[in-house]
Structure 1
Amino acid sequence: MRTMHHWVLLITLCLTSGAYSHADDYVVEKDIMVPMRDGIRLATDVYRPAQDGKPVDEALPVILSRLPYNKNGQVTAAKYFAANGYVFVAQDTRGRYKSEGVWHMLSDDGPDGVDCAAWIGKQPWSNGKIGMIGTSYYGGTQHSMALAGAPELTTVIPVDAMSNMGRQSLRNAGAFELRFWNWIFLNAGRGSRASHDPGTVEVLKEMADQRFAYLENFPTRRGQTPLRLAPEYEDWLLTAMESGPDDEFWSAVNIVEDPEKYKDIPVYLVSGWYDSWGGNNTANFMALSKTIKGPVFMIMGPWIHGQQAAYAHGDVTFGKEAAIADQWAWRKEWYDRWLKGIDNSVGKSGLFKTPVRIFVMGTGDGTKDEKGRLKHGGYWRSENDWPLARTEYTDFYLQPDGNLSTAKSEEEKAVTQFQFDPKNPVPTIGGNISSGNDILLQGARNQKGGPHVWNFKAPIPISARNDVLVFQSEPLEEDLEVTGEIEVKLFASSSAVDTDFTAKLIDVYPSSTDWPAGFDLNIGDGIVRGRFRESLKKEVLMNPGETYEFTIRLYPTSNVFKKGHRIRVDISSSNYPRFDVNPNTGEPLNRHRRTEVATQTIFHDASHPSRIILPVIPTTPAK
């Protein structure tokens, strides 16, 4: 029990040092400097349940958040969990905000997480059980700690979490996702070591404000921009943009290749069909569910990054049922089961009825809502596996006349050519985006330009561009559900020694009263860089004019293409600024000085069956 002397000391600390503050139901101790194994200290806040302003004298399970975005932003979550019988610990990761050391992208978060967990386990307010919480980067710190095998780690809920960075979502089939260029330009002056100097902050803010100008002067080069004032950020970014192979540089959170390293604990993987990490979320489920006992659960909604409480984004609404309104209660349910041993809904009902919970998009009526958004709709469904066991993988072939059909072309030789000019790339209009912050549009969008698209302001459909090849089906005679992983097998050649090929899957709405021109809804997209056509592990330049088979992995989805709609596939060579633009010169990545216009040849004949492989679900069980 606490002595009177202890409470006098606590009150004295509150009044003199500012280390403690309290409300009726929690007490927080701020900025505890927790030492790591190398002596670097990380700033840590501890929120404890309280009664009458005094911390509960009981060893409790802990919810841990390790993040680079300022631990002070965790107050809402901390108060909720402290009020529900948990200690909440928030920690600035190495080199960020009040923590000491030098920031590195996730590579320190395994050992730092282990040391943090060991410290927590020794505290009198901890019962030795830790559950982690967090989205995006600090979803990645959860994976890091699980891969490092922290003994105290009991469960994780990684939401839209960073992982497998050399595979997809950061370095994507050899191309670089420029949202992370954007992230570095914005965060080099926020919470970094460089941000401690007011003069440097001003320079870095000016740099961040001029991102469009820097985009127009690619590639970003070492030492030639104000980014040099934040050297660890410049070094990571330029090394990342120069490192194409999925090698040691990208190994910090590689779950797909190292699932056996993941601690055998209950894991709840959360992401969305329009999230930047959606493809890696399903990949992680497939890898972990076969490797650890877990249990491993997964939910995929129609969401963009970090927006599980929302039901609309971009130009589209999916209906209010698409949202998980209370963002803390569902997490608490999971933690209560695994940290407190409470027999609840986990494995029985709701979000946790079965290992897989998916939102099947596309069953709305297609009219406009009160805000002018397409009512694409959808519904929730519980599944036992991913991919679904009843999937029928169906080839839809790119036909010479621009059709998309399940019938294979019988022509002996059929090609379509276009020119790809790196100085005039195809603009990004929505998709699997995070850290877009002004330069990128997120989510579900009508594939049409306008003033909202900074690099495609004319109000014309993207299909009108000469460098976009459109292949679309006849209007469907019945609804067709596509749920699962999607690939395009593309036979192509180029006049360049290196180039990119892109693919986009689109749900084409017919003309209607609300949408006289129809609505071209992006469902998923992907890319492949020519020099990585054989393997993500090594670069092999192309022979100009030689025909190769390219595999383009799109992001996973679940969508009903309704009767009367068309299934469309767009083929091109750029999607900017979602991906960096290939200069077509074959120079080392991000070190080119020239660009070349490439002539691209797409084959779609009997010997070169270019196609998209759709995971068709033949029957839909009751909701």
Structure 2
Amino acid sequence: MIATHPLAMGDGTRLATDVLLPGDAPGPHPAVLIRTPYDRRAQHAELCGWAARGFAAVVQDVRGRHGSEGRWEPYRDEASDGAATLRFLRSQPWCDGRIVAVGGSYAAHCALATAVDPGATDRPDAVIAAVPALGPAETAREPLGPERLFGRAGWWAAHGDRPDSDPDALSRALAIDPGLLDHLPVATLPARLGRDLPSWPGLWDPEGPGPLLRHAGGATVPLLAVGGTRDPFADDTHRLWRAWGGPARLLTGPWGHGLTAEPGTEARPGHRLALGEAYARFARAALAGRLTAPSRGALALGGSEVWFRADERTEARVWRFGARAGLRPLRGTDFVADPARPVRSDSLDVPDSGTPDRCLLVTPPLPRPLDLLGTAEARLATVADAAPADWIVRVVALTPDGRADPLALGAVRRTDPPGTVAEFTVPLGRPARRLPAGTRLRMEIAGHHFPAHVRQPHTGEDPVAATRLLASHRTVQLAGSALLLHTGRARAIDPVQEICR
């Protein structure tokens, strides 16, 4: 039976906290703590799963949300409120003193904050962080600059500055005004939504990395970082895993933000992991001190049934621009990045007439299957007539049956002097994909990726505050430009076994 406790924080604010104990053993038990802004009652099925596996399961509404008192200020109080909740749990007779902090998305931030905050007065004994929203800096911007618009607008419209949630708020507003996100400046979006969002302007102030990544190297407890190659926070999941100071395990599949509930087209039956059981096995191994190596990971190879180790040996394969066996440009290498007519993030269609809005390149068909196992990057030599200038690189797999399938994406902001040649690298994540023979790679280099990202105005103004838009002429030089992918032969492993040793 789930029992609700109004748990008092240090300032007297009471947070609604639900507890479910295993029904077949007297205890005490190890505990699992989930702190969420998404309504603790929606997590009751997860509580039942943990309790059925022998854990005392606890879920709490964060400050100012749903059943909890106080004011909701995203990311502000999670470390201190989490520490107070940990102290309460350790004082209960049904808790054996061992606690695993668990969460997905914002709830993953809550779990991580208790483990890495330098001023924390209590810490969990292990952390499971799925598709982690690391903090304002990471969720608002790409690591190399461009602001994330669509995802942040949707989240803030649904959850920001309110005690409850309205998941369909942005979609309803877009149905009324399909051009809602086109209006300038971006800073005034709350007025167009008809909502008071006092935290919206400050969202764009911090530039990463935030405190979680800055302090992750000092963490000593075991971590399981779970992500999806189609999740917007995939790179952040990898960065967290690499930066973690304690034993760190990575589990990544061909999924979106909803993990196994949101598989990509490259997902196969072997990627339908029972994540609840995997989490429980990791938690037992972590609490028993069985995780020895500092860093391990298991990744699914999309387009196959294989899982492989994160440290699998790879070799770099380079497709040079203009080379016969490399990337051949289509319609030239000059284009116009016009924020009034931006390249769309919600379409893979490419224009075949008119003024080019991107540099478009394609490879010959692959003569044999190819496994992409490691990181990817674009090395570019470019010229822009404006500064700052955003550069968006999108790689698409053109399958033998005629489909266009997203493979990799990267975005950077450059401030090179206008008219000068700039040489730089655009990180493209870790695709983890098996490409069949006959696949061609299409590479798009553009100046915008809207509405996923805020449009660069090319006026020198802050893109969030800009009210004017100017077109920018761009050139991609063939000499010195290339696409680099890490390839190899994937050796099959058991992913759950890999994260538990």
TM range (shorter): 0.7 to 0.9
* Equivalences for residues 73-472 of structure 1 within 5 A: 73-148=42-117, 151-163=122-134, 166=137, 170-178=141-149, 179-188=151-160, 191-192=163-164, 210=176, 212-221=178-187, 225=191, 230=196, 234-241=197-204, 243=205, 245-246=207-208, 251-253=210-212, 255=213, 257-262=214-219, 264-288=220-244, 291-292=245-246, 294=247, 296-309=248-261, 312-313=263-264, 316-324=265-273, 326-339=274-287, 341=288, 355-361=296-302, 377-383=303-309, 385-386=310-311, 388=312, 390-399=313-322, 404=327, 416-429=333-346, 447-448=348-349, 461=350, 466-472=356-362
Which residue number corresponds to residue 28 of structure 1?
A: 2
C-alpha contact 1:475 1:563 (8 A) present in aligned 2: yes
CA distance in structure 1 between the partners assigned to 2:300 and 2:73 by the alignment: 35
- The percent identity for this pair of structures is 22
Counterpart residue identity of residue 225, structure 1:
A
1:175–1:244 Cα contact (<8 Å) kept? no
Partner of 1:525: 409
Moved more, 581-590 or 149-158: 149-158
Normalising by structure 1, what TM-score? 0.71
For residues 451-500 of structure 1, the C-alpha deviation after alignment (integer angstroms, 9 at most, x for no partner) is xxxxxxxxxx4677721222222222222222222221222121222221
Report the secondary structure of 1:79's partner residue: helix
Moved more, 127-136 or 547-556: 547-556
Distance 1:225 1:114, change over 3 A: same
| Cα distance change of structure 1 residues 208 and 119 upon mapping to structure 2, 3 Å threshold | farther
Alignment partner, residue 366 of structure 2: 476
The DSSP-based 3-state class of the residue aligned with 1:525 is strand
Aligned counterparts of 2:301 and 2:169: Cα–Cα separation in 1: 47
Counterparts in 2 of 1:28 and 1:404: CA distance versus 1, 3 Å: same
> Which position in structure 2 is the counterpart of 1:5?
none
1:456 aligns to what?
A: none
Measured in 2, the distance between the counterparts of 1:622 and 1:75 equals 35
Q: C-alpha separation between the residues in 2 aligned to 1:224 and 1:563?
A: 48
Q: 1:34 to 1:530 in 2, by over 3 A?
A: same
RMSD of aligned alpha carbons: 3.2
- Change in Cα spacing, 1:208 to 1:239, as seen in structure 2 (3 Å) is farther
The amino acid of 1:621's aligned partner reads: R
Q: SS state of the match for residue 49, structure 1?
A: coil
1:36-65 deviation line (CA, Å, top 9, x unaligned): 2233222211112336xxxx6532111111
The 1:547/1:164 distance shift into structure 2, 3 A limit, reads farther
SS across alignment from 2:7: strand
- Whether contact under 8 Å (2:228, 2:234) holds in the other structure is yes
| Cα distance change, pair 206–259 in 1 and its aligned pair in 2 (3 A) | closer
Whether the 8 Å CA contact 1:185–1:211 is kept in 2: the answer is: no
Q: 1:557 aligns with which of 404, 422, 431?
A: 431
1:144 deviates by 1.1
Match of 1:616 among 487, 490, 500: 487
Counterparts in 2 of 1:402 and 1:520: CA distance versus 1, 3 Å? farther
Q: Cα–Cα, structure 1 residues 124 and 217, in superposed 2: closer, same or farther, change >3 Å?
A: same
Once the two structures are superposed, what CA deviation does each residue of 1:414-433 show, in whole Å capped at 9, x if it has no partner?
x8211111011111137xxx
In structure 2, stretches of 5+ residues that fail to align are 494-501
Cα distance change on mapping 1:95 and 1:120 into 2, 3 Å:
same
Paired residue secondary structure (1:260): helix
1:400 Cα deviation (Å)? 8.1
CA distance in 2: counterparts of 1:576 and 1:223, whole angstroms: 15
**1:41 equivalent among 14, 19, 28:** 14
Secondary structure of the residue aligned to 1:474 is: coil
Distance in 2, Cα, partners of 1:320 & 1:487? 29
TM-score by length of 2: 0.87
Q: Give 3-state SS (helix, strand or coil) of 2:187's partner.
A: coil
Once the two structures are superposed, residues 121-173 of structure 1 have per-residue CA deviations (whole angstroms, 9 ceiling, x without a partner) of 11222111111222111112111111125645111111111126535774442
CA distance in 1, matches of 2:109, 2:53: 25
Contact conserved, 1:309 with 1:327, CA < 8 A, in 2? no
1:129–1:152: 8 Å Cα contact kept in structure 2?
Answer: no
Asked if the contact 1:394–1:616 (Cα under 8 Å) also holds between the matched residues in 2, the reply is yes
- Distance between the aligned counterparts of 2:243 and 2:63, measured in 1? 29
Distance 1:105 1:224, change over 3 A: closer
**Deviations along 1:563-616, whole A, 9 cap, x unmatched?**
2222222111111111111111111241111000111111122xxx01222112
Q: 1:553 to 1:165 in 2, by over 3 A?
A: farther
Larger Rg: 1
Contact 1:528 1:550 in 2 (8 A): no
**Which ranges of structure 1 fall in alignment gaps of 5 or more residues?**
1-26, 196-200, 362-376, 410-414, 431-446, 449-460, 532-541
- State the shift of 1:403 in Å: 5.1
Distance, in Å, in 2 between the alignment partners of 1:320 and 1:426 is 34
- By how many angstroms is 1:228 displaced? 8.0
1:598 maps to a residue whose letter is S
Distance 2:492 2:371 in 1: 14
AA in 2 matched with 1:419: V
CA deviations on 1:509-558 (whole Å, 9 max, x unpaired) are 23xxxx3xx12211010111224xxxxxxxxxx42212222322212111
Going from structure 1 to structure 2, the CA distance change for 1:138 and 1:481 (only over 3 Å counts) comes to: same
Partner of 2:38: 69
Structure-2 separation of matches of 1:128 and 1:419: 61
Task: Give 3-state SS (helix, strand or coil) of 2:280's partner.
Answer: helix
Cα separation, 1, equivalents of 2:352 and 2:132: 33
